[in-house]
A and B are shown apart, each in its own frame.
Chain A
Amino acid sequence: MSFFDSILVSIFSMALVFLVLASLYALIQIFAKLVGIFKHEAALPVNVPAEQAEVLDEGAKGPEVSAGELRLKGVDEKTAAMIMAIISHESGIPLSELQFKSIKAIEQS
């Protein structure tokens, strides 16, 4: 194969990779819209991973926000990151192997 041919193959293949993934992008967007339209209550309970941790911390309750599967209630992103890092460090389990379901602040009774 000549150099020119290999350049052409590379450009064609790279374009095809983009095209396939762009099509997936479109499919995901369309599906998300459909889910949004037909299921307002789309947020069904998520599948609980094998290893999870629910961290309770005292503090004021605040608005609930979400980061993918992780639900934050009354905890800002920075605090959540610190809590996860501390748990990872203390347990000796790498952060990549831990999955957090939610982190919420609770009032002490």
Chain B
Amino acid sequence: MFIDALKTIWAESGFAAITWQQLVMIAIACVLIYLAIVKKFEPLLLLTIAFGVLLANLPLAGLMKEEIGSEQGGLLHYLYLGVKKGIYPSLIFLGIGAMTDFGPLIARPSSLFLGAAAQFGIFIAFTIANLIGFTPQEAASIGIIGGADGPTAIFTTTRLAPDLLPAIAIAAYSYMALIPMIQPPLMRLLTTKKEREVKMEQLREVSKLEKICFPIVVTIFCVLLLPSVAPLIGMLMLGNLFRESGVVERLSDTAQNALINIVTIFLGVTVGATANAERFLRPETLAIIGLGLVAFMFSTIGGLLLGKLMYKLSGGKINPLIGSAGVSAVPMAARVSQIEGQKANPGNFLLMHAMGPNVAGVIGSAVAAGILMALFG
């Protein structure tokens, strides 16, 4: 009888039900957890995504089970509604807006062109993805990885190609974490030592009035032009207005700390939980990861090439290294520009100059996403 009971427990346990594909996914989850904890690759999101992958691939747990009739769905199924409805990416943008100082961009608005050029990879990846057989919606979602903006990639994918969400989210955040490895070789390849040594002039001081008006003007202009991007740009600029207005410090503090942290947990774990073995272990995943890298590299190249052009046009006053910061991974891309600039000239201090293209990239990738959603949504 005791043996029978043990057999029953075993037969009903997840151990008996687990498949080799789920074991592979659990191994992938463990690798991602390792990368997040030990290598510190975007740990805030990678750790939660990885744990979501782990939870989703434990058989019989049913955390992502849909609600059927009176039968309750799984916990993560309900939390996932925030991703499905585009709520979490927009709330993350609210927090990013509250954390972002657009001062360097307002002080040197030509940074916007670098933010635009660094969206180049999106369209290169889009074209290649189309060529190898992805639908235009899928190709657009894959291409947006090149914007180096996790929330934008998730937002676009949930609207255009929800089936690809786990692969795209994991690729986007992994490459963002790998920026210090992906960008420097391209930066050194495409710029001369003389260009990298350029010390840039001090930025002008930006008045409080300009900083307050900026989010209002950008919201009105962008949302009127691209209504599909209203949730992202609207929340980004609302968060920034909280910060710059100076009259709602509690809201600003909540948006840039508690709220963004809570939403990051929900977003990460539920996006990870969509990566079940059936959806993830497909040849398309490898293609997406490869195309994501292509997108990132070409976005960096686009920013650098325009940076070089601006170097020439400005008579050598603009260091082209700030161009690579046009990909919107804030502030990591700007930090990479700073590090490379200092390697070429120890007296170089590019961080503040690179923040302009960096935050312009956030707007640029949201605009690119809005265009793609308008075309294929």
Q: Which residues of A contact B (CB under 8 A)?
A: 1, 3, 6-7, 9-11, 13-14, 16-18, 20-25, 27-29, 31-32, 35, 39, 42-47, 49-50, 65-71, 77-78, 80-81, 95-96, 99
Contact = CB atoms under 8 A, between A and B. Distances in A.
B124 A31 contact: no
Contacts of A24: 109, 112, 218, 221-222, 363
Interface in B25-57: none
Nearest to B330: A96
Interface in B319-355: 331, 334-335, 347, 349, 351-352, 355
Contacts of B375: 9, 13
Given A22-B112, A32-B210, A95-B351, 9 more contacts: A10-B126, A11-B123, A14-B120, A25-B110, A25-B113, A28-B214, A47-B243, A68-B104, A81-B349
A10 B213 CA distance: 32
Interface in B121-153: 123-124, 126-127, 130-131, 136, 139
A17 B375 CA distance: 13
B244 interface: yes
A68 B210 contact: no
Contacts of A44: 207-209
Given A1-B136, A42-B207, A67-B202, A31 B367 contact: no
A64 B213 CA distance: 26
Q: Which A-B residue pairs are the 7 nearest by beta carbons?
A: A10-B123, A42-B207, A6-B130, A66-B205, A44-B208, A28-B109, A21-B112
Nearest to A38: B209
Contacts of B221: 23-24, 27
A16 B122 CA distance: 13
Interface in B62-96: none
B202 A65 contact: yes
Nearest to A27: B217
A1 B203 CA distance: 45
Given A3-B127, A6-B126, A43-B205, A18 B109 contact: no
Contact of A13 (B222, B244, B368): B368
Contacts of B273: none
A74 to B, nearest CB: 14
A47 B115 contact: no
Given A3-B130, A10-B126, A67-B352, A35 B368 contact: no
B206 interface: yes
A67 B205 CA distance: 6
16 contacts: A6-B126, A6-B136, A21-B367, A22-B116, A25-B113, A28-B105, A32-B106, A35-B207, A39-B207, A42-B210, A47-B246, A68-B101, A68-B104, A68-B355, A77-B202, A81-B349
A68 B203 contact: yes
Interface in B189-231: 199, 202-211, 213-214, 217-218, 221-222, 225-226
Instruction: Say whether chain A's binding surface is mostly helix, strand, loop, or mixed.
Output: helix
A21 B113 contact: yes
B253 A21 contact: no
Interface string B272-284: 0000000000000
B292 interface: no
A18 to B, nearest CB: 5
Nearest to A50: B253
B335 A96 contact: yes
Contact of A21 (B104, B116, B139, B205): B116
Nearest to B368: A17
Interface in B244-288: 244, 246, 253
Nearest to A65: B202
B186 interface: no
A66 B112 contact: no
A7 B225 CA distance: 23
A21 B213 CA distance: 17
B103 A69 contact: yes
- Looking at A24, A45, A66, the one whose CB has the most chain B CB atoms below 10 A away is A24
